[in-house]
């Protein structure tokens, strides 16, 4: 049957005949913890510290436990070696991965991302500039050819006259301002 030390968790394989149904005190040779091993292992967990420590009655059991403990300890040491070995091999790929990270970050996708929104702004500015030029040209054309436009589209005659008047007054104001300056 299988025994587990409730204190350190060491496991032992013990012949079932060695442990009667009524239970028997056993000692973990790994940590020297003693407990009464019975069919339900929960009973043993509470007893050990308060109970006086009678000696294990059967030295054979102790011997078996010791042997098992040796095997257990050896197995654990092997496990620990494996674990540290695994840990070492685990840390190894981590370092190159960390070293790789800056390389991945370096090829300036960020810089491009920053530049990207500027381009639509520039083109937006260009479009705005072109539109302003076209509007200015249209305004100039409307002013210069207001008579022709008014003839072609009679509905525009009145607003065009107002527009021409406005531009003329603006020009007069500008001319006055220029003339006034010494």
Residues that bind Zn ion (CB under 5 A): 5, 7-8, 10, 28, 30-31, 33
Q: Determine the distance from the C-alpha atom of residue 77 to the mean position of all C-alpha atoms in its chain, rounded to a whole number.
A: 36
Minimum distance, C-beta of residue 8 to Zn ion, in the bound complex (Å) = 3
Cα separation, 20 vs 37, in Å, equals 9
Minimum distance, C-beta of residue 33 to Zn ion, in the bound complex (Å) = 4
Minimum distance, C-beta of residue 104 to Zn ion, in the bound complex (Å) = 49
Cα separation, 123 vs 113, in Å, equals 16
Minimum distance, C-beta of residue 84 to Zn ion, in the bound complex (Å) = 23
Pick 28 or 150: Cβ nearer Zn ion: 28
Pick 7 or 23: Cβ nearer Zn ion: 7
Q: 167: which residues sit within 8 A by CB, 6+ positions away?
A: 143
Minimum distance, C-beta of residue 31 to Zn ion, in the bound complex (Å) = 3
Pick 69 or 150: Cβ nearer Zn ion: 69
Pick 45 or 137: Cβ nearer Zn ion: 45
């Amino acid at each position: 049957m299988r025994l587990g030390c409730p204190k350190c968790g060491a496991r032992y394989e013990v012949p079932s005949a060695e442990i009667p149904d009524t239970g028997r005190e056993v000692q973990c040779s790994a940590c020297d913890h003693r407990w009464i091993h019975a069919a339900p292992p929960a009973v043993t967990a509470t007893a050990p510290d308060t109970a006086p420590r009678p000696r294990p009655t059967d030295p054979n059991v102790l011997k078996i436990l010791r042997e098992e403990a040796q095997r257990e300890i050896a197995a654990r040491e092997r496990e620990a070696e494996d674990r540290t070995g695994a840990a070492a091999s685990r840390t190894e790929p981590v370092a190159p991965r960390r070293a790789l990270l800056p390389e991945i970050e370096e090829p300036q996708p960020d810089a491009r991302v920053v530049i990207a929104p500027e381009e639509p702004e520039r083109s937006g500015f260009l479009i705005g500039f072109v539109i302003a030029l076209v509007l200015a040209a249209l305004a100039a054309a409307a002013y210069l050819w207001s008579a022709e436009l008014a003839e072609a589209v009679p509905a525009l005659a009145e607003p065009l006259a107002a527009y021409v008047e406005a531009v003329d007054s603006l020009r007069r104001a500008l001319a006055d301002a220029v003339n006034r300056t010494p």
